[in-house]
Structures are given as C-alpha cells and as structure tokens.
Amino acid sequence: MESTLQGQLKSWRQHLHRHPETGFEEVDTSDYVANILGTLGLDVHRGIGGTGLVANLKVGEGQRAIGLRADMDALNIAEQAPGREHASRIAGKMHACGHDGHMSMMLGAARLLAERRDFDGTVRFIFQPAEEHGRGAKAMMADGLFERFPIDAIFGAHNMPGMRAGTFATRAGGIMASEDNFVIHIKGRGTHAARPHMGVDPIVIASQIVMALQTVVSRNLDPSLQAVISCTEFITDGLRNVIPSNVVIKGDTRSYSRDVQTLLDTRMREVCEGICRTHGAECAFDYTHEFAPTVNSPQFVDVAMTAARNVAGRECVDGNIQPMMISEDFGAFLQAVPGNFMFIGNGESAGQGGTPLHNAAYDFNDDILLTGARYFAEIARLELPAGR
C-alpha cells in the first residue's frame, strides 16, 4: 500500500509544483487540495482567512482534537531548472521553499489516517495561505480558526536542505526567530558637494546610525540571549555632486522573545533619534512586527520526537537542534495554541535535495514525501490513541 501511496504523493507534489500561486492567491491550489481531501471523505471548510481551508477527520468518540498544518504559497521567483519536467508553468513564480511538498505530505497523512482510522478523536488538517508574507496565520485566526475548529495542540514541519534526507530535528523553546522590520527616515539639508558646510549631510548621519545600531546587541542585550540587527537598504535622493536631503535605511531584526523585541525597538529608536538630534537632522523611526518567534512547547516536543523515532529510527532524530534565525508564520499559531515545529531533512547535496531554500534551482525531494506523511499520521496516533 505504501509503495502505491509514494507514487500518489509524487504525482500530487509535482502537480502543485507546476502550478504555483503566491500569498492569498492560492485559489487553484486550494481547489486542488480540497478536492483530494473531499475524495478521502473528510469534512472540508473553505475560505478561512482568504484561501485557507480546514479538513476534519473524526474517528471514535474521543473529545480531543489536534491540528496538522501545511503552508500553500509559492514565491515570486522565476524557476531556473532546465530539463525539469515538472517545472513551474507560471512565469515568475515557483515553489522555491517546498510548500508543494508540505501539502503533499499532509495529504498523504490524511489518506493514511482516513484509510486506517487507527486513532480516537479529531484531526484537523489546516492548509494555510500566505506563509511567506507572515500574514496567513493571523488571517486565519482573525477569521475564527480556533473558535470554529478548536484544537488541543498544533504540529507543523518544514523541509531543510543541508540535513540528511529523511532525518528529523527539533528542540524545546525557541527554534526560529521573530522577524521585525524597521524603516529609518533621516531628513537633513541638501547642498552642493563642494560646499558641505552649507548643509546637514544625512549620509554621514545615516552611516553613524548603521554602525551604532551594531552596538545594541553587543552592549544592551544579555549575552546569553540572541538577536540580529541587519541594515539591508540605504536609499538617498542625492546625485554624484549633490549631498542629499534625505536618507532612508531599511532592515530587519531577529530574536526569540517579546522582551528582546521590545528592547531592540526601544534602543534602536533612542540611538537613531539621539544621533540625528546631535547633528541637527530630523528622524522618523518605524518598527513593525512581521513574524512571531516559533517557540515549541516542551510536552509536545516529546510527542513529535517519539513520532519521528517511530518512523525513522532513534538515530535519525535530533531533539536539540541549534535555534535558527530564519522565521516561520507557524510561530503565530504557537502563540495561541501549544505545539511543535519540526525540521525534516531534504538532502545534503545539490540535485539530491541540498539546493538552498528560496533558490531558483531548488526542488523538494520526493524521496522524503512518504516519511513526512507517516510522521504526521503517527503524531495523530500518539496524541489521539485508539482505545483510550
């Protein structure tokens, strides 16, 4: 049966890869997924948070429910994969992060559980839009996701290039960082490049700000904690022989707790306003929260690790992976419901699953589809054991 399922998973995954859709535009993707889930006999609810959906599978009389989540959106990247038969057919869009594989693994878990019915309770399969935007989880929750479909715990996973194919890794506590964005507007006074004394040079001021921001982490943050401040854009309205009037600095920060996010916001604002004031320039500082940190609940880390060991073997499961500074919209769900996020190895070498995420040549490794499907099904069996 599992060899037949592997072929089905590969077919689903490659179809989804050929037809990528970006955040909140996953109309055809949602139709395709909903049709498969309906055929499996699940109770499907559409249009949650835009294009999101929830499919319920209830077995027995158990009152507990868990959520298993997959993300649906692709990226605005033109695929560069000559000779790949299942390459994207949508110009400028591709599944460069593996959400096609995540959906297929979840569909596989739904099929396994629907056919075997070897649990007692309710499994809610949550297919989320707009993960890449950091907006889809909030949209689904604002649309009453957990009020309409209450759950006791939620589980998610992401493929990880660079990890051996089919291996698993997670950790208790923070596993992925928040992402906050900042925009700093510095208004000086433009002048001729030959007469700098006539102006207030915002480039010099902005340069001091960029350097000073690096001291926030090194001198204001407890060394036992982690954070990153990155200035990624430096925009002026000057010319070759014109000192500009305005500079805009953009960037992002990464951290693992709300307290650290607050510290970064406060100190960065103080640094920027203080330096501008010293030089007689005006400053506007904007700081926005884009992704919540992904913080795993210890009790559900144990469940996830047991499921992974049952599927792949103890030697293939790491329960104390180093936290990563990447961000995941799943963190927003974990602020509302306890649960766990797991990494599944996609492969180590290019062409065998090792091409980095968000790369134009990336592809999900079809060899791990069945492993992922079995993992999610095993979580349901452990959390909702038959005969309880």
How many domains are contained in the chain? 2
Beta bridge partners of 52: 48
Written as one string, the DSSP assignment of 158-224 is EEEETSPTT-EE--SEEEE-EEEEEEEEEE-B-EETT-GGGSB-HHHHHHHHHHHHHHHHHHHS-TT
Residue type, 229: I
**26 labeled part of a ligand binding site:** no
**289 labeled part of a ligand binding site:** no
Which residues of the chain fall below pLDDT 50?
A: none
Q: Are 22 and 129 in contact (CB under 8 A)?
A: no
The answer to whether residues 317 and 373 belong to one domain is yes
Read off the pLDDT of residues 154-167 as tens digits, 9 standing for 90 and up. Answer: 999 999 999 999 99
CA distance 56 to 143: 17
Q: Are 249 and 206 in contact (CB under 8 A)?
A: yes
**158 labeled part of a ligand binding site:** yes
* Last residue of one domain, picked from the residues 249, 276, 291: 291
Angle at 43 (CA atoms; ends 42, 48), nearest 5 degrees: 120
Angle at 251 (CA atoms; ends 221, 207), nearest 5 degrees: 85
Residue numbers of the domain that contains 256:
178-291
Residue 387: per-residue pLDDT = 74
Q: Tokens 């959390």 label which residue?
A: 383
**CATH code, domain with 89:** 3.40.630.10
The answer to whether residues 132 and 233 belong to one domain is no
The answer to whether residues 27 and 170 belong to one domain is yes
Read off the pLDDT of residues 306-365 as tens digits, 9 standing for 90 and up. Answer: 999 999 999 999 999 999 999 999 999 999 999 999 999 999 998 889 999 999 999 999
The answer to whether residues 14 and 162 belong to one domain is yes
Does residue 110 lie within any of the structural domains?
yes
CA-based diameter of the chain, in Å? 84
In eight-state DSSP terms, residue 58 is E
Q: pTM value?
A: 0.93
The answer to whether residues 282 and 329 belong to one domain is no
**CATH code, domain with 182:** 3.30.70.360
Q: Are 138 and 332 in contact (CB under 8 A)?
A: yes
How buried is residue 62: exposed, middle or buried, by Cβ count under 10 Å (0-12/13-18/19+)? middle
Residue 351: per-residue pLDDT = 82
CA distance 288 to 280: 26
* Last residue of one domain, picked from the residues 291, 310, 345: 291
Q: Is 73 a catalytic residue?
A: yes
* Last residue of one domain, picked from the residues 273, 291, 309: 291
- C-alpha closest to that of 327 among 214, 183, 226, 177: 177
The answer to whether residues 69 and 6 belong to one domain is yes
Beta bridge partners of 228: 254
- C-alpha closest to that of 90 among 102, 81, 104, 78: 78
The answer to whether residues 283 and 341 belong to one domain is no
The answer to whether residues 149 and 94 belong to one domain is yes
The answer to whether residues 81 and 142 belong to one domain is yes
Residue 1: per-residue pLDDT = 61
**Residue count of the chain:** 388
- Which candidate in 26, 79, 131, 383 is catalytic? 131
The answer to whether residues 32 and 140 belong to one domain is yes
DSSP-based three-state secondary structure for 85: coil
Written as one string, the DSSP assignment of 288-344 is EEEE--EEE-HHHHHHHHHHHHHHH-GGGEESSPPPBS---THHHHHTTS-EEEEEE
In eight-state DSSP terms, residue 86 is T
CA distance 106 to 125: 7
Q: Can you list the positions of beta strands (E) in the chain?
A: 43-48, 52-59, 65-71, 121-128, 153-161, 168-169, 173-176, 178-187, 191-192, 227-236, 242-243, 246-255, 282-291, 294-296, 317-318, 339-347
Q: Tokens 């500074």 label which residue?
A: 325
In eight-state DSSP terms, residue 252 is E
Does residue 29 lie within any of the structural domains?
yes
- Which candidate in 25, 71, 73, 383 is catalytic? 73
Does residue 388 lie within any of the structural domains?
no
Residue type, 214: Q
The answer to whether residues 362 and 251 belong to one domain is no
Does residue 267 lie within any of the structural domains?
yes
The answer to whether residues 197 and 275 belong to one domain is yes
